[in-house]
Structure 1
Amino acid sequence: MRHWALTLLLGVFALCAHSMPQTGEDSQSTALSDQTLIRIAPSTASCEGAAFPEECADATRAAEAINLAFETYGISSSGERAGLVAYMLFESGDFRYSKNHFPGRPGQGTRMMGMPPLVKLYAESVAGVDAVARAEAAGGDAGLDAVLRLANCNDEKSFGMAAWFLSTQCTNDTRGGLAMGEMDGWHDFLTSCVGTTLATERDTLWLATTQVLNGEGLSKTR
């Protein structure tokens, strides 16, 4: 049993060594920088004091991975980019978490804190159906966590899920609304595609992200 578990874990590491397929178009938008992320969320400047240091990604790491995700999945409009950055910042606690710790739901994670069924779809996309089937063979919570590792084992994959989600799971109308950079489009993305409830904290973060990406000064700091 121990040998089988070790074999499965080594297989996950091997899959993480391979890059995701480059499926998107080259972006015409300005690349996201670490300083841009720090302006939006100052705590991303470092991982000092992070409760789970192995999960935390600072602004430098995050910016590199997010830019790659935008290119891979063809996220070119500033409105969509702002929406995804705000979404990931909120769900991951300013990129300090890549797994669900509150309450600690098995199999939930990546920087968008996707639920297990969605994580499985993403893992199949970036690691392959066979790899996911082998991970699920562990059964129960162990199987869910093994699938999450396939989707979450490096920055490229962990930060890539939100862009994959928008490009494959949301309707064209939702994407168009988000691209407009208006609150109604942001709310439609959250309720119609993500399937979550609206919250003032989410809106505050989205407004800050939108202002910074549009080159505006922040009306107030977070």
Structure 2
Amino acid sequence: MKASNLARSLLALFLAVLASASGSGKSEITADQLLKIVPKSKTCDNPPAPGECATAEQAAPFINTSFDTYHVTSPAEKAAVISLMAFESDDFKYNKNHFPGRPGQGTRNMQMPPYNLKYAESISELSDKLGPVRDDPSKVLDLLLSDEKYDFGSGAWFLTSHCSSDVRDALKTGSEAGWKKYISDCVGTTATDDRKAYWTRAAQALGVGSD
């Protein structure tokens, strides 16, 4: 009887560990991890653009919500999206384009206005408000910035709606080549050393291996 009880206990322990491991892909990003990626996001004291800055602690829950909403579970994909947002927003200081100041460009990954319109169209909660302003890029952006979950959700939305399966498969390998493919073939820009620095920190913070 004692042996049987011990076996049951061991089985329960094994199943608990297995369940925990199976859910590891859905582990949440912490503020501490974000600080390793974006050290300057520790504080928003004296922000360059009042009302736009977000700290790592403020950003973390909305980033996690975005990954849940768009079913992004790969640590390598998460690292790429976070590094993109951190780079484009200058360490989470901005959510509008200030240099050169292009009207309607913004959210944390600094999407161009046509993408912001598509993004807004995909959000059912904004459907009633979008109609009257859809032809005004600045007002569309204002809608997206009205809630941090939309502001920080743009990176995951763009990944899942505009990156091909080939790009995502390459990105999931965690390799530098996969990340470069994401930047060049999906984001549509050059994988500069400055961008790579953010991605390297993100990959390290999230435990992503790279080649």
Question: Which TM-score tier does this pair reach, normalised by the shorter chain?
Answer: 0.7 to 0.9
Aligned residue number for residue 30 of structure 1: 27
Where in structure 1 do 4 or more consecutive aligned residues deviate above 2 Å?
Answer: 26-29, 127-133
* Separation (CA, whole Å) in 2 of partners of 1:215 and 1:134: 44
Aligned residue number for residue 17 of structure 1: none
SS in 2 for 1:28: helix
Aligned residue number for residue 41 of structure 1: 38
Aligned residue number for residue 142 of structure 2: 149
SS in 2 for 1:48: coil
**Deviation larger for 146-155 or 205-214:** 146-155
Report if aligned partners of 2:67, 2:156 keep a CA contact under 8 Å in 1.
yes
How far off is 1:27 after superposition?
7.4
Once the two structures are superposed, residues 48-76 of structure 1 have per-residue CA deviations (whole angstroms, 9 ceiling, x without a partner) of 12111300110111101000000000000
Once the two structures are superposed, residues 5-55 of structure 1 have per-residue CA deviations (whole angstroms, 9 ceiling, x without a partner) of xxxxxxxxxxxxxxxxxxxxx873321011111122211111112111300
* Separation (CA, whole Å) in 2 of partners of 1:188 and 1:101: 27
1:86/1:134 Cα in 2 relative to 1: closer, same or farther (>3 Å)? same
Larger Rg: 2
Instruction: Output the TM-score relative to the length of structure 2.
Output: 0.83
Aligned residue number for residue 106 of structure 1: 103
1:59/1:109 Cα in 2 relative to 1: closer, same or farther (>3 Å)? same
**2:151 aligned residue (147, 155, 158):** 158
Aligned residue number for residue 132 of structure 1: 130
* Separation (CA, whole Å) in 1 of partners of 2:24 and 2:109: 22
RMSD: 1.7
Percent of pairs identical after alignment? 40
Report if aligned partners of 1:27, 1:71 keep a CA contact under 8 Å in 2.
no
Instruction: Output the TM-score relative to the length of structure 1.
Output: 0.79
Report if aligned partners of 2:77, 2:171 keep a CA contact under 8 Å in 1.
yes
**Structure 1 unaligned residues grouped into runs of 5+:** 1-25, 138-142, 217-222
